[in-house]
Structure 1
Amino acid sequence: MTLIYGHRGAKGECPENTLASFQRCLSHGVKRCELDLHLSRDGELMVIHDPTLKRTTGRRGKVVEHDAAELVTYDARQGGPGWNRPCPIPRLEELFEQCDFEHWQLEVKSASRVRAARTVLAIQELAERHGLLDRITVTSSSREVLRALNRLTPRLSRGLVAEYAWLDPLKVARHHGCELLALNWTLCTPERLLKAQKAGLQVSVWTVNEPALMRRLADFGVDSIITDFPGLASTTLGTR
């Protein structure tokens, strides 16, 4: 059975990585989500994809140059589907408190050694406080982040985000003790999928928005798909 993850909530239907987006995902009966994290200047985990504010809020500067209390006042509905009310950048803690997902893929973008360490420790602390350690997989394409997860937070499940074919994603995932491989759908051949699953990896494929592609990947036997349209995926594959 192929599970469904809402990409940044329900990115195709709502402003991405906002509370409204994650609530929309849940409203479709889709109980799994993927989101992106950056640290604020004062070390809080903020749910936003880019390191800069421009694309989703229209503001200048980087996430890390602002405190969390400022960031949660910024309206992050730019560049997405039309939306009639403000959608602030959320703290991860707010989502943990308000959204009852069965599983979360938390993607951490590339980071310096120090920032990677601070980020994974903050995730572990928050997950422990909310009793969600067993419902989280921290994913990244960054070796620095994966090394920090191994070194500092071995209790956190981890996953490799693989976008390009120039390196062997299975080898990299195994090297870093990953349990999940988040694979760009263009890299998901039946051969690679089978090899990954035989190696004990869960394979989550992104970003899958076309019904025909959803069905094809489900037929291949992928463990999950990540989609901008969780409602469409639910209708296409059945709520899983």
Structure 2
Amino acid sequence: MSEPDVIAHRGYAGVAPENTVRAVREATARDETAMVEIDVQPAACGTPVVIHDECLEGSRDRDGRPLTDAEGIVWETPLEVLQSARVLGTAETVPTLADVLEAVPETAGVNVELKNPGAADRRFGESLGDDERDARRAIWQPFVERVIDVCAGFDGELLFSSFYEGALAAVRDVAPRYCAAALVWDDLEAGLEIARRHDCEAVHPPRNAIAGTPLAETEYAGIGVGEPEIDVLEAAHAEGRTVNVWTVERWTQYADLAAVGVDGVIMEYPGLRARFRD
């Protein structure tokens, strides 16, 4: 049985300040790491920066810590403020995409998740009709152009992913030479439709969306308990698409996914594959 590739979620956010240069540098120094996953959105000037939440203080709990020591909407904040905002109480600050790519060796790939183009209404996880898709593509395109421009000098493997169809449509228009992945939330059929429509090389479903695993009996990412109605792994593989699953936190979860043949596992912690081998 071949083992899935290991993708470091935000640079192994379980052991390092997420989406920072330090996290990415430490993650890619590990032999097991095939790729590092990061989130991008624009500063007020349009410069792509690496941060997950739309608010600097964070929009979800991180063990009681704010995401940074600054406040405000990321895309409304000047770049110099973002670059001085300390992440999770550490000395690490919010980096630009260029800073992060400079820290990644050519031997590791980068999964760039397109998180936000600088707009509040983005149509999360939806398969869009033609007119709406064109409108959303137009919203995303200026930011995607900035991201692609920054990535042009990176010599390693690049994969662009998003929960937003408008973002994937923009990637296909701006830079069809790069690989793309449809991120899936609770609607597996919509995710597969989007992957087919934009000829995505990969699909990224949540860990409990994979049929035939104990994980399917757990609630996660908007999907309830029970076998999924669609075998997304079988469907994607039949169409020649890679399946990278998010987000794994324990070695047992890695083992369950490896057993059914997923291609990649997006992991919160390093070393889970080694535990599986033991």
Q: What SS is found at the alignment partner of 1:207?
A: strand
The structure in which a higher percent of residues are helix is 1
Alpha carbons 1:52, 1:63 under 8 Å: kept: yes
Q: 1:203 aligns with which of 228, 232, 243?
A: 243
Q: What SS is found at the alignment partner of 2:205?
A: strand
Q: What SS is found at the alignment partner of 1:129?
A: coil
Query: How far off its partner does 1:156 sit?
Result: 2.2
Q: 1:126 aligns with which of 143, 150, 160?
A: 150
Q: What SS is found at the alignment partner of 1:54?
A: coil
Query: How far off its partner does 1:165 sit?
Result: 3.0
Query: How far off its partner does 1:215 sit?
Result: 0.5
Instruction: Give distance in 1, aligned partners of 2:276 and 2:45.
Output: 42
Instruction: Give distance in 2, aligned partners of 1:220 and 1:120.
Output: 34
Residue 197 (structure 2) aligns with:
175
The answer to whether structure 1 residue 66 and structure 2 residue 77 are counterparts is yes
Query: How far off its partner does 1:217 sit?
Result: 0.3
Alpha carbons 1:38, 1:108 under 8 Å: kept: yes
Paired residue type of 1:160 = A
**What is the TM-score when the length of structure 1 is the normalising length?**
0.88
Query: How far off its partner does 1:110 sit?
Result: 4.7
Q: Give the CA RMSD over aligned residues.
A: 1.8
Q: Which structure has more RCO (C-alpha within 8 Å, separation ≥ 6)?
A: 1
Aligned length: 229
Alpha carbons 1:106, 1:139 under 8 Å: kept: yes
Instruction: Give distance in 1, aligned partners of 2:166 and 2:74.
Output: 20
Percent identity over paired residues: 24
The answer to whether structure 1 residue 99 and structure 2 residue 104 are counterparts is yes
Residue 90 (structure 1) aligns with:
95
Instruction: Give distance in 1, aligned partners of 2:99 and 2:44.
Output: 18
Q: What SS is found at the alignment partner of 1:35?
A: strand
Alpha carbons 1:106, 1:138 under 8 Å: kept: yes
Query: How far off its partner does 1:98 sit?
Result: 1.6
Instruction: Give distance in 1, aligned partners of 2:180 and 2:202.
Output: 7
Q: 1:35 aligns with which of 35, 38, 56?
A: 38
Structure 1: give runs of 5+ residues left out of the alignment: 79-84
Query: How far off its partner does 1:138 sit?
Result: 0.7
Instruction: Give distance in 2, aligned partners of 1:207 and 1:24.
Output: 19
Instruction: Give distance in 2, aligned partners of 1:66 and 1:168.
Output: 33
Instruction: Report which of the two structures shows the higher radius of gyration computed on alpha carbons.
Output: 2
**What is the TM-score when the length of structure 2 is the normalising length?**
0.77
Residue 14 (structure 1) aligns with:
16
Paired residue type of 2:30 = H
CA deviation profile, 1:48-72 (whole Å, cap 9, x unmatched): 0011101211322111112222211
Alpha carbons 1:110, 1:141 under 8 Å: kept: no
CA deviation profile, 1:56-98 (whole Å, cap 9, x unmatched): 11322111112222211110124xxxxxx41101111111112
Residue 52 (structure 1) aligns with:
55
Change (3 A) 1:3 1:166: closer
Alpha carbons 2:182, 2:202 under 8 Å: kept: yes
Query: How far off its partner does 1:166 sit?
Result: 5.8
Instruction: Give distance in 2, aligned partners of 1:142 and 1:110.
Output: 9
